[in-house]
């Protein structure tokens, strides 16, 4: 809990309100001459009834002032306000589209889950109100959230005249206003969480761990090339089940806590459910609290009695929680031995000790605990939806929402074309040819068909394996296990040789129990023997934990390249190991410095000079939850050879202020990029690239400017450091977004299907002026294909639409883990693998989280400088290799 929440304020604190009544003209957003910013800032605040809203949101459709606002003018607010953790500047702005779109590829038409929105011109008055609370020391601070609406209603009711002026606003602010109107009618019957809606009367699909899955829909307004559209998609979310707390704890921990609840389990459970909202009904009315901590049992916690009725009923000077409930509420507790919950109510700081059995989980609270493997399988059955079914369900949602009968939308004369999804133009790009090494000599070409290809020749480049072995870590050691391992030991080298590996000797085989000591000793022994590769077979009830130990010891301490395989996977594939070994052999080759297949990237870069030397980067950040003490991990990978097939990775821990969510910005990006440039030069004859293409994953539209201001400038700073007096490279910076809700469908006259791999869309629903496009590079094996959205924020190279789309699509065919086209380019996929995979390493365990946040600033003064970082160093034997495959 933040200090602001802990700060005591008088119940009758004075309120200071200042209002600015701003005349904001919502101009015709269908006007093609405007170039608005596509915004996705969402408002989740409560909204009044229709009559109340129309009083406060005065709409004058009689006078319409058509204006075009400049994007370069930012709203100026002279009041004291909270600053963004990452400041913005206007030094760099997103680049404009260089042309009218690409032309290469086969032209087709597709349907998309966007619906055209027509908005008449209208004048809308926006009220800006500052609310300040005065504490006991006379110091002003922001009003509590639960007080803001009450105060604002009073101000609107009593204040008759407001100062009126005009201000420049961003188009996304208008989007936010209209989106809010779209939500209001739905709020009556649906649970609204940002832009997602769930039927509050529909039961959750129980996951049997205190959580359930809800199915709903997503709704968002976009400003596009063809005008405003409403995007509708199916959505799924995990919520806590509204159970009695004893039942919830039993399901969550998967044990009967009434019989056995160990101290370490209590501490772990407390950390996982802290700040969860709960309610009680034993007083005859619903009272809401938030969980702070667990305490002693209801029998053991006592307090001085203050109620006269209780004083006459017992001679005790103090009374236990259990006795209090028996005397005050006539309720004898069934489980008085269980820990009580210390819950907070509002801004109160005094303890409220509640027995678990009188507490209930408040419904519709999002659950962010990761799903386990069995749960992911169960959820997939509900969330993987075929394109025909998705199309039909979306159309049903649109019809049920009845936008054109909505009273709020009618007030602004907003009309939705809900008869059919938008039909737009698309193109199908040509896939690359994949080069391998012919058995004998020369090159062999494999052709991509339906997003995949076969390996019928040797890998393009392989390494020699002189010393290696197989290590088994398992709970079970018997003749059956030994038989499987012997078959694997015999077939693995033969199958690797078929792919071009040169193997001097057969692998050794050792078996061990999966204890921490045995794992460490086995890996140390392998390193002392000079192994270049250890193939680890895992067969344990705690395989995830064993995997973490293996990777931590091998990558961080010892410097041994490992390839883990599942014993269960071996048993499933033992009759036909060819395909299974072919898959892991691709990873092994990449980890040992080989190259599987290469594409002719120069063919995609046809407009460039033969002397151009390209380097490709990918970057991603993986986050823990806001309540977690674990840091975020930023990963940056960079190509390190002339074929752009081999990559090195650099990692960095980022610790936000305690109790605050992590930032997406990579603070040490300049250091990481500089290091990777040195790796590139070392591998390429001391040459440095003159052109850099940087793919960045995980950035939301609202952070584009922050990424431009911080990360692009950090890349440039790294280049100035490394290049010195030499000419600096040209940089193209592209944001890759997978988590969006746009989908595409094709209809062949009989059925609705997924779009073909290689389908690109750069007209219609894309940004009106900036340089973005959708690309579906992978073939959907199950469910509805999800395209990636690419937004070119900075482009010094000067790519045309065709060139950057073709290059991006071809890079999706260079992932060393498979012989398929993947959903995003290999460098950014590698960054995700490195960031996600490094979470199992033991970095940062010696850090005291409080010591990383030693300053005493208020949490509201959160800035990029408050992010504490630590570069994560791997053992030098593996640091520059592709350990993350």
Give the 3-state secondary structure of residue 724: coil
Pairing mode of beta strands 632-639, 647-655: antiparallel
Asked if 791 and 771 count as a contact pair (C-beta separation under 8 A), the reply is yes
| Chain segment 14-53, per-residue pLDDT in tens | 333 333 444 443 334 443 333 333 333 333 333 333 333 3
Mean pLDDT of the chain, nearest integer: 83
Best-predicted range by mean pLDDT among 263-267, 700-704, 785-789? 785-789
Within 8 A by CB and 6+ apart from 692, the residues are 614, 615, 616, 617, 715, 719, 729, 730, 731, 732
The per-residue pLDDT for 474 is: 92
Cα–Cα distance measured from residue 382 to residue 215, given in angstroms and rounded to the nearest whole number: 9
CA–CA gap between residue 700 and residue 42 (Å, rounded): 12
DSSP state of 701: G
pLDDT one-digit tens code per residue, 435-486: 999 876 788 999 999 999 998 889 999 989 989 999 999 988 899 999 999 9
Write out pLDDT tens, residues 15-26.
Answer: 333 334 444 433
Mean pLDDT of 97-120: 95
β strands within 582-706, DSSP E? 614-622, 632-639, 647-655, 691-697
> Could you count the other beta carbons within 10 Å of the beta carbon of residue 464?
10
Q: What is the DSSP string of 56-97?
A: HS-EE-SS-------TTPPPP--S--PPPSS---SSS-PPBP
Q: For position 758, what pLDDT does the model report?
A: 97
Closest CA to 167 of 58, 35, 67: 67
pLDDT for the residue 659: 57
Tell me the per-residue pLDDT of 764-784, one tens digit each, with 9 for 90 and over.
999 999 999 999 999 988 899
Q: What residue ranges define each of the domains in the chain, with the CATH number in brackets?
A: 3-239+384-425 (no CATH), 245-361 (2.170.260.10), 462-591 (3.40.50.2300)
Give the pLDDT mean for 694-699: 94
In this prediction, what percent of the chain has a pLDDT beyond 90? 58
pTM for this entry = 0.84
Is 859's pLDDT higher than 60? no
pLDDT band at 347 (very low <50, low <70, confident <90, very high): confident
- pLDDT band, very low/low/confident/very high, at 761 (cuts 50, 70, 90): very high
What is the SS3 assignment for 220? strand
Res 374: pLDDT: 77
pLDDT at residue 334 in the model: 96
Q: Looking at residue 845, what is its pLDDT?
A: 46
Where do we find the tokens 């009580």? 340
Q: Residue 394: which H helix or E strand, with range? A: helix 387-401
Span 577-605, average pLDDT: 89
Q: Mind listing the pLDDT tens digit for each residue in 434-447?
A: 999 987 678 899 99
Residue 169 pLDDT exceeds 80: no
Mean pLDDT of 604-615: 82
- The average pLDDT across 827-835 equals 97
Sequence-distant contacts of 395-399: CB under 8 A, at least 24 apart: 395/421, 397/217, 397/232, 397/234, 398/115, 398/232
């Amino acid at each position: 809990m933040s200090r602001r929440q802990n700060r005591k304020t008088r119940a009758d604190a004075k309120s200071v309100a200042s209002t600015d009544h701003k005349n904001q003209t919502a101009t015709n957003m269908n006007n093609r001459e405007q170039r608005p910013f596509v915004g996705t800032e969402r408002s989740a605040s409560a909204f009044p009834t229709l009559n109340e809203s129309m009083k406060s949101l005065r709409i004058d459709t009689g006078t319409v002032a058509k204006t075009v606002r400049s994007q370069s003018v930012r709203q100026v607010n002279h009041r004291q306000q909270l600053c963004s953790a990452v400041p913005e500047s206007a030094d760099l702005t997103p680049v404009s589209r260089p042309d009218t779109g690409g032309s290469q590829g086969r032209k087709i038409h597709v349907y998309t889950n966007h619906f055209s929105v027509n908005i008449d011109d209208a004048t809308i008055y926006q009220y800006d109100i500052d609310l300040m609370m005065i504490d006991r020391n006379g110091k002003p601070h922001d009003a509590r959230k639960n007080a803001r609406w009450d105060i604002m209603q009073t101000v609107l009711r009593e204040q008759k005249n407001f100062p009126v002026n005009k201000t420049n606003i961003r188009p996304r602010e208008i989007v936010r206003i209209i989106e809010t109107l779209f939500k209001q009618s739905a709020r009556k019957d649906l649970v609204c969480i940002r832009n997602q809606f769930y039927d509050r009367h529909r039961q959750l699909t129980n996951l049997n761990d205190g959580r359930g899955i809800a199915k709903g829909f997503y709704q968002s307004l976009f400003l596009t090339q063809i005008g405003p559209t409403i995007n509708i998609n199916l959505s799924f979310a995990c919520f806590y089940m509204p159970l009695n707390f004893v039942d919830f704890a039993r399901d969550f921990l998967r044990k009967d806590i009434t019989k056995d609840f160990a101290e370490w389990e209590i501490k772990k459970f407390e950390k996982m459910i802290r700040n969860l909202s709960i309610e009680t009904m034993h007083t005859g009315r619903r009272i809401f609290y938030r969980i702070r901590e667990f305490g002693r049992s209801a029998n053991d916690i006592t307090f001085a009695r203050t109620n006269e009725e209780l004083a006459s009923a017992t001679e005790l000077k103090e009374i236990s929680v259990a006795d209090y409930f028996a005397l005050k509420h006539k309720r004898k507790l069934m489980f008085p031995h269980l820990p009580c919950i210390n819950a907070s109510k509002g801004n109160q700081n005094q303890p409220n000790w509640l027995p678990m059995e009188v507490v209930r989980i408040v419904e519709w609270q999002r659950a962010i605990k990761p799903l386990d493997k069995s749960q992911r399988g169960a959820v997939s059955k509900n969330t993987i939806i075929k394109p025909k079914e998705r199309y039909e369900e979306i159309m049903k949602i649109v019809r049920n929402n009845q936008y054109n009968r909505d009273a709020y939308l009618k007030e602004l004369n907003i009309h939705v074309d809900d008869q059919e999804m938008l039909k737009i133009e698309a193109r199908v790009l040509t896939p690359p040819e994949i080069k391998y090494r012919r058995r004998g000599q020369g090159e062999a070409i494999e052709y991509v068909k339906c997003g995949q290809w076969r390996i019928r020749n040797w890998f393009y480049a392989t390494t020699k394996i002189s010393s290696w072995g197989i290590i088994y870590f398992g709970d079970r050691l018997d003749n059956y296990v030994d038989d499987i391992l012997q078959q694997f030991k015999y077939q693995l080298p033969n199958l690797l040789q078929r792919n071009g590996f040169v193997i001097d000797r057969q692998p050794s085989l050792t078996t061990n129990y999966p204890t921490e000591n045995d794992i460490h000793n086995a890996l140390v022994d392998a390193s002392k023997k000079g192994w270049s590769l250890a193939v680890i077979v895992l067969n344990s009830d705690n395989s995830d934990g064993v995997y973490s130990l293996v990777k931590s010891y091998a990558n961080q301490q010892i410097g041994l390249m490992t390839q883990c395989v599942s014993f269960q996977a071996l048993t499933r594939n033992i009759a036909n190991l060819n395909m299974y070994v072919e898959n892991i052999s691709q990873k092994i080759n990449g980890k040992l410095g080989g190259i599987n297949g290469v594409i002719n990237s120069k063919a995609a870069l046809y407009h460039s000079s033969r002397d151009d030397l390209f380097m490709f980067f990918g970057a991603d950040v993986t986050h823990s939850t806001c309540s977690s003490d674990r840091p975020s991990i930023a990963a940056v990978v960079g190509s390190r050879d002339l074929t752009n097939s081999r990559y090195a990775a650099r990692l960095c821990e980022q610790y936000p202020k305690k109790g605050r969510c992590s930032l997406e910005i990579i603070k040490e990006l300049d250091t990481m990029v500089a290091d990777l440039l040195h790796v590139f030069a070392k591998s390429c004859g001391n040459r440095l690239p003159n052109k850099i293409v940087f793919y960045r994953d995980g950035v939301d539209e609202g952070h584009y400017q922050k990424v431009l201001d911080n990360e692009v400038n950090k890349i440039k700073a790294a280049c100035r450091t490394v290049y010195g007096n030499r000419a600096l490279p040209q940089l193209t910076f592209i944001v890759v977004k997978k988590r969006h809700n746009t989908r595409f469908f094709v209809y062949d006259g009989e059925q609705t299907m997924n779009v073909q791999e290689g389908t690109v869309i750069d007209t219609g629903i894309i940004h009106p002026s900036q340089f973005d496009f959708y690309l579906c590079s992978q073939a959907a094996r199950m469910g509805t294909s999800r395209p990636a959205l690419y937004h070119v924020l900075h482009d010094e190279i000067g790519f045309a639409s065709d060139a950057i789309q073709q290059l991006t699509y071809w890079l999706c065919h260079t992932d060393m883990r498979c012989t398929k086209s993947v959903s995003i380019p290999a460098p950014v996929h590698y960054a995700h693998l490195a960031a996600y995979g490094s979470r199992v390493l033991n970095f940062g365990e010696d850090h005291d989280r409080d010591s990383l946040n030693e300053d005493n600033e208020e949490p509201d003064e959160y800035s990029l400088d408050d992010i504490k970082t630590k570069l994560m160093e791997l053992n030098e034997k593996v640091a520059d290799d592709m350990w993350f495959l």
